[in-house]
Structure formats: C-alpha cells, structure tokens
Structure 1
C-alpha cells in the first residue's frame, strides 16, 4: 500500500485533544479533566471532510485509538490512521497537562511535519486546544455528543476570524463479543 503525507491532515489529531475554565477549585477541575480524557479513551472511527482551502471537498476516514494520560499525567495519547482513497496517513498525538493548561504535539510537532499543541481547556463534554505551526494559529474542538459519538472541528485564524477547515464525526467502536452466564 502506498503511503503519502497529506498536509491537510496536519490538524486532525491535534484530535483527538480553550474554553475558559469555569469558576471551580483546581482539584475539581483536575478531576473533571481526568474524567473527560478517560471517557474519550478507546477506539474511534468515522468520516471527515475538508470544508475550506485548497483541498475543500476532500473526504477521508479515520481509525483512532486514544489512551488516557502519559506517564501518569492527565491527558491523551492518540494513534491510528486516516485514509483518503487508497492513501493512508499515520496519525499520532500526545497531549498532557502543563500547569492549568495542556501542551503536546501532533505527529512530530511544528519543528517537523506536524503541529504543536500550545494550550488547552476541558469543559464538561469538550476540549478546546490551541494549535500552531509557524505562522498558522488555530484551534481544535472535540465535543462528545454522547458516550459513543464525538464531533471534531479544526479551525484556523485568518485575520481576525476563526475559519473551520476540517470536520469529523467519530463513533466509538464497541466490542461485538456477547457475554453470558454459564449454567
């Protein structure tokens, strides 16, 4: 199978990781954040589309696996692939707490072919991450619709406006194994 790097994917997993924090004590916020990342851990699959820019209209599909925390920190480690037609692109991201915010990288970070995650905030059912590569600034919002579906939007800043460029609808992949009792 051919592998080709698609620059449009540079913002995708920046998912699979700031709304201003609510006025809650730091301990409550830390517990809320940890609970959110544990809730989004697991296997996710779904379609996406590039909705603006040079590759507008390009449809793709992703298979991603998230694990909560790295080295015991609150956050998320993401691995998987996204596919356009016959071409597949590996996806990876690491996001971990950094004080009252989050830091991390998508692929190999902005110094390579990826993006840096420069900030982040968790709310009850979503996370908003600030993303950066050179002069490109943007945000990724991942919002849980329910326990088994999540919407991801990646936007970039153009002048004073945030313009959505990528949208995804991911569904949790559940085991099909039936469990029963033996009598």
Structure 2
C-alpha cells in the first residue's frame, strides 16, 4: 500500500476590504444577486458573480422550489447561463456570498458538492483555472486559485 497526501492552498482575507478592488466589484455583484435570491423554504440566500474573459459579468442566485430538490444553486445558475450565452468565453473568476435569514452568516461558505462538480466541468473544458472567492454575509473571504483546490480528485470526461 502507498500513502497519497493531497494538499490544497487557500488564502484567507480578514474581510472584503483586503481583497483586490476588481474582486470587491465582483463580490458586490454577488451580494446584489444574493439579496434577490428566491429561497422561501431554506431562508438561505446565495449569490454568485462570474467574470468572463470578454469582461462580461454574469450573476446568479439560488432558486428554490416547493419540490425542494428541483431548485438550483446560485453558482450553477450563473455558470450555466454563462455557458449558454457566451459558450466560447473563459471563466476567469467567481465570487460567492451566502447569508441566512435566520441568523447572521459570518463564516465563508464554499460551493456545495454539486456546484463544485459543475464548476470543474468548465475548468476542465477551458483548460484554465477558475479563481473562486467565497464568503458569508460579512467576515473573512477565502480565495482558491482553482476549483481543483476544493475538489482535488475530479470526475470529468476523461474517465468516460
């Protein structure tokens, strides 16, 4: 048997004021999207904003449904729209923010597993890493240089 160690590097900023200005702009778009989320059941609003290499910014927010599993997360709403509207554009960066209507969310909230899988599909397709910044409503902001840091053993088309 051989032991394999997997490491990821993430960067943690104390708050939004510490990140680069262009990331603040993108995160503010994600915050605006979060505030418009449709989450009447979970009361957990998520917003995402994506910067494309053509300088377009695409936003998305979670959309819930009474048939609970039929809803869609903010990250997938944004990434699928970007793929539909600009299929040739590369995704440079994604900003994600999440907040609960029940209590203040101060810890960084990363993408769920389904969203990680959707994001990695685009990262593999474009042969270019996607920077991801994520936070709660306030507080620390985490940066990952690539989705591969959040999902190191990817399942992609190469295994099909």
Q: TM-score with structure 1 length normalisation?
A: 0.28
Q: In proportion to residue count, which structure has more helix? A: 2
Higher-Rg structure is 1
- Compare the two structures and name the one with the higher strand fraction: 1
TM-score by structure 2 length?
Answer: 0.31
